[in-house]
Amino acid sequence: MKLKQSYITMSFDLVFFGGTGDLTWRKLMPALFQAMRHHKLPEGGRIIAVARDERSDEQYRNFIKERFADVEPGKRPSDEEFAKFAEMLHFRRMDLSQPEHYAGLKAMLDERGAGTVVLYLATSPYLFPVICKQLGMAGLNAPHIRVVLEKPLGHDLASAQEINRVVKAAFHETQAFRIDHYLGKPAVQNLMALRFGNALFEPVWRRESIANIQITLAEELGVGTRGDYYDKTGALRDMIQNHALQLLTMIAMEPPSTNDADAIRDEKLKVLKSLRPFNAETVMRDVVRGQYRAGSVEGRRVPGYLEEVKVPANSTCETFVAIRTEVQNWRWAGVPFYLRTGKRLGSREAQIVVNFREVPHPIFPGASRANKLVIKLQPEDGLELHLLAAKGSGNNELLSPVSLDLDFDKAFPSERVGAYERLLLDAIGGRLNLFVRSDEQEQAWRWVEPVLEAWSKDPAGPRPYAAGSWGPPESSAMVARDGCAWAEEQ
Ligand code: BG6
pLDDT tens-digit map of 326-374:
999 999 999 999 999 999 999 999 999 999 999 999 888 887 889 999 9
Do 60 and 91 meet the contact criterion of CB atoms below 8 Å apart? yes
The whole-number average pLDDT for the span 289-296 is 97
Contacts of 245 (CB under 8 A, 6+ apart): 272, 339, 444, 447
The whole-number average pLDDT for the span 204-233 is 96
**What pLDDT does residue 416 have?**
77
Q: Tell me the whole-structure pTM to 2 decimals.
A: 0.95
The closest residue, in CA terms, to atom 15 on ligand 1 is 219
Residue range 72-131, pLDDT digits in tens: 898 999 999 999 999 999 999 999 999 999 999 999 999 999 999 999 999 988 899 999
Separation of CA 58 and ligand 1 centre (Å)? 32
Q: pLDDT band for position 3 (50/70/90)? A: very low
- Residues in a beta bridge with 176: 147
**What pLDDT does residue 225 have?**
87
CA distance 451 to 453: 5
Residue range 135-151, pLDDT digits in tens: 999 999 999 999 999 98
**What pLDDT does residue 243 have?**
98
Q: pLDDT band for position 396 (50/70/90)? A: confident
Residue range 137-195, pLDDT digits in tens: 999 999 999 999 998 888 999 999 999 999 999 999 999 999 999 999 999 999 999 99
CA distance 244 to 185: 13
144 included as an active-site residue: no
**What pLDDT does residue 314 have?**
95
Of 38, 155, 181, 243, the catalytic one is 243
The closest residue, in CA terms, to atom 8 on ligand 1 is 238
**What pLDDT does residue 9 have?**
63
Residue 35 has pLDDT above 50, yes or no: yes
Separation of CA 222 and ligand 1 centre (Å)? 11
CA distance 344 to 305: 9
The C-alpha R_g of the chain, in whole angstroms, comes to: 24
Q: In angstroms, what CA-CA distances link 445 with 65, 228, 236, 340, 364?
A: 39, 22, 10, 17, 48
CA distance 36 to 326: 43
Q: Which atom of ligand 1 is nearest to the CA of 221?
A: 10
Separation of CA 1 and ligand 1 centre (Å)? 30
The closest residue, in CA terms, to atom 6 on ligand 1 is 238
Q: Which atom of ligand 1 is nearest to the CA of 378?
A: 16
**What pLDDT does residue 2 have?**
45
Q: pLDDT band for position 8 (50/70/90)? A: low
CA distance 263 to 433: 9
Residue 10 has pLDDT above 80, yes or no: no
Residue 51 has pLDDT above 60, yes or no: yes
The closest residue, in CA terms, to atom 5 on ligand 1 is 238
**What pLDDT does residue 94 have?**
97
Residue 248 has pLDDT above 50, yes or no: yes
